[in-house]
């Protein structure tokens, strides 16, 4: 048995992580901090994108666009705001999945948020163009 302070068993060090970290990431080893911080920066970039969508949706709802019916404008605004909400949720899920993959040595997951974001932008732009032209 080890006589090291904080040892629970002779061959293992005590888990020094917080209860939240142990619950969120129960398995694997602590990854290189550079990779964890890069994952966090990516999460923050997606969060900024989500905030931009939210701000854009609020602006669409707040200001009158000539040539666009108010109901259509509201529908596009709601779509853009929901896109921002989806991006924020997807960013959090992606952060957890990437962190777990790094901790367990598994391949990084495919970023499903990118095609979703592309589809949302395409649909919002297509609806806006159709409603302004028609």
Write out pLDDT tens, residues 22-36: 888 888 888 999 999
Greater confidence (97 vs 129) lies with 97
21 confidence band (pLDDT: 50, 70, 90) = confident
7 confidence band (pLDDT: 50, 70, 90) = very low
Its domain, for residue 118, covers 32-133
CA distance 76 to 102: 38
Q: Is 51 a member of any domain?
A: yes
Distances (CA, A) of 78 to 7, 10, 58, 118: 54, 58, 8, 17
The reported pTM is 0.74
Q: Is 121 a member of any domain?
A: yes
Which of 127, 133, 130, 95 is closest to 111 using CA atoms?
95
The count of domains in the chain is 1
Q: Is 7 a member of any domain?
A: no
pLDDT of residue 14: 55
pLDDT at residue 134 tops 50: yes
Q: Is 60 a member of any domain?
A: yes
Q: Is 119 a member of any domain?
A: yes
Q: Is 46 a member of any domain?
A: yes
Q: Is 16 a member of any domain?
A: no
């Amino acid at each position: 048995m080890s006589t090291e302070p904080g040892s629970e068993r002779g061959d293992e060090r005590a888990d020094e992580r917080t209860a939240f970290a142990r619950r969120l990431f129960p398995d694997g080893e602590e990854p290189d901090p550079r990779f964890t911080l890069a994952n966090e920066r990516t999460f923050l970039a997606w969060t900024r994108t989500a905030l931009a969508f939210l701000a854009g949706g609020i602006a669409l709802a707040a200001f009158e666009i000539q040539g666009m019916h108010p109901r259509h404008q509201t529908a596009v605004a709601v779509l853009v705001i929901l896109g921002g909400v989806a991006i924020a949720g997807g960013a959090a899920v992606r952060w957890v999945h990437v962190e777990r993959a790094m901790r367990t040595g598994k391949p990084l997951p495919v970023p499903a948020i990118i095609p979703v974001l592309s589809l949302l932008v395409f649909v919002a732009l297509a609806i806006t163009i159709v409603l302004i032209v028609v």
